[in-house]
Structure formats: C-alpha cells, structure tokens
Chains A and B, each alone.
Chain A
Amino acid sequence: MTGTTLQVVLTVAAALVATGIVGALSQQSVVMIMMGLELVVNGVVLAAGAAWYFLWPAVPDAQVLVLLATVVMAVEMAMGFAVALALYRARQIDMVDDATELEG
C-alpha cells in the first residue's frame, strides 16, 4: 500500500510538472509563463515531501529540498515581476513575442 501511495503522489507531482511545462511553453504573457514555472516547482515540492515520508523519513535531505524549492519559487516571483515591470517600462509590452531583441 505504501508503495502504491508513493507512486500515486509522484504521478500527481509529474502531472503538475507537465501542466506547468505546457503553460510555460504555450503562454505569451510574462506573468502567465511565471505561473507555469511555479506549477513545475509545485510538483517538485510535492515529490520531495513524498520521498521524505515514504522512503527516508530518518534523514532530512528531502525536507531541505522542499525548503530550497520554496526559496526558488520566491526568487522566481520576485525577479519575474521585476523583469516584467522593467520590460513594460522600457517597451510598453507584456508579451514575450514582442521582446525578441536578443533573438539570433
């Protein structure tokens, strides 16, 4: 039963990661792309929590990974909003399709 529960939770985490990838790749708005990336990290948080509980509860490594993933989410949000604001201030755009100056 424990193994099945772990696999179910990990599958949910994989679905969250896949949903986030679809969103991040298909959306044009900078803010919506950030939401997709947040969903990917959300899946990582869930997978790490499940790995701690079902596999190695005696060692704290997976818990530290959850902590790290939440920090990644906070940093991604802060920098994403700062870049979105800077982009809007410089070009009056909020879509990545309009920000192609660095395209090769």
Chain B
Amino acid sequence: MTGPVLLVVLGALGALAVCAGVLVFVVDSMARATFSLLASFLAVGASLLLLDLPYLGLLVVLMMTVEMAIMVVFMVMLMMNPGGLMPMSMVHNTRGAVAAGVVVLAALSAGIWTVDWPERSGAAPPDTTVQVGEAVMGPHMLVMIVVGVVLLATMIAGLALATPRGRYDRLGPDLDRPRPDDPVDGGLPR
C-alpha cells in the first residue's frame, strides 16, 4: 500500500485512535473506558502493520489486548462506578489540564508542519523483524540488557508492593520473634 491510499487509511486509523483516546475520559463506565483505550491501541497496532512492521504491530495488538483485559478487572475492582449506571465525574483542574494539552498539541504540530523533513534514505530490508532482532542482539544490545534488568526489577517491586505482609510484619524489626505474628496461627517459624 503506497501513496494516497496509504495516506487515507493511516488518516482513518489515526482518527479512530484519537477519537477512542478522547472517549476514554468521556464515557461514564469504566469498562467502556478500558475498551476505548484498547480500540486506540488496536488502531495504532494496525498502523504499524501497514508501515511494514509486522512484529511490532502484532506485539502492540497482542500485548495491549491482554493488558486491557487485566486492566478491566482492576477497574471494576477499584472504581466506584464500573458499570456506568450513573453519571460520574472524578476530575480536578480540568481547565489547566486542557490548556496544557492544547499547548502541547500546538507546539508539536507547529514543529511537525514547519520542519523540513529529510527525504526517505535507504530501503527497508526484506524482513523487518530480522532487522530489529539483529539490532537488539548486536549494536543495540545495551537496550536489551537494560530492559531485562528493568523488567526483573519491576517483577520484584510489584510483588513487594502487592504482598500484604512481609517478613518484618511477621518476625519483627530484627527478624528475631520466636513465633511469627500471623492473623491465623500455624505459620512456619523462620
């Protein structure tokens, strides 16, 4: 797909992505907000597929579908109005937020439409997935190493934050309590 057809299709997908993104903060139901966000991600994933990036496009589509499926559970769990059966407003400083958004959009758009963009240089490789794979296993390996450490740290930190009671709650500040302080007795001593 090239030329005007690509422009029209990418424009339509972009309009869908932005409209769905705005709907996230407009609809009353939390479930609807989550699925609007998913629609926005799917439109961006489809755009990546059109831009000859099958691996990254599929990655965005699959990852975001699962992520939003998990998010909708959290939304129903934590939010006061998951079903959208009554109007709901949980906003503050709307005017300042809209002003910040308008300024950001105007500044970025001004840059986008005034910069003299360079011509397309070089040709795409036959397999773009091989290109990114060789990059992260070769010259860009530092990115992969950092990402791996960050994901490991995220798993540990997520578990530490989500665990209701840690060893210091059970065994005291010096970890020397003879019997652990458990809500239900029977926990193993250290």
Contacts and interface: CB of A to CB of B under 8 A. Distances in A.
B93 A25 contact: yes
Contacts of A4: 7
A71 B104 contact: no
Contact of B112 (A11, A20, A74): A11
A29 B79 CA distance: 8
A70 B154 CA distance: 14
Contacts of B79: 29, 31, 94
Interface in B45-60: 47-48, 51-53, 56, 59-60
Contact of A66 (B10, B33, B48): B48
26 contacts: A8-B14, A9-B47, A11-B113, A16-B17, A22-B25, A28-B90, A28-B91, A29-B79, A31-B79, A42-B44, A46-B44, A52-B51, A54-B120, A57-B124, A57-B125, A58-B125, A63-B128, A66-B56, A67-B143, A71-B150, A73-B64, A78-B154, A79-B154, A81-B74, A85-B161, A97-B92
Nearest to A28: B90
Interface residues of B, number: 81
A4 to B, nearest CB: 7
Nearest to B92: A28
B140 interface: yes
B147 A42 contact: no
B11 interface: yes
Given A1-B7, A15-B18, A58 B123 contact: yes
Contact of B25 (A23, A52, A53, A85): A23
A14 B109 contact: yes
Interface string B1-35: 00110110011001101100110110000100110
A1 B82 CA distance: 45
A74 B113 contact: no
Looking at chain A's contact residues, the main secondary structure is helix
B33 A35 contact: yes
Interface string B90-123: 1111101110111011001100110001101111
A63 B25 contact: no
Given A42-B40, A61-B135, 17 more contacts: A9-B47, A12-B10, A12-B18, A15-B21, A16-B44, A21-B100, A25-B100, A39-B37, A46-B17, A53-B52, A53-B124, A56-B121, A63-B132, A64-B140, A73-B67, A74-B151, A78-B158
Given A66-B48, A77-B71, A84-B78, A39 B147 contact: no
B21 to A, nearest CB: 4
A67 B44 CA distance: 14
A18 B104 contact: yes
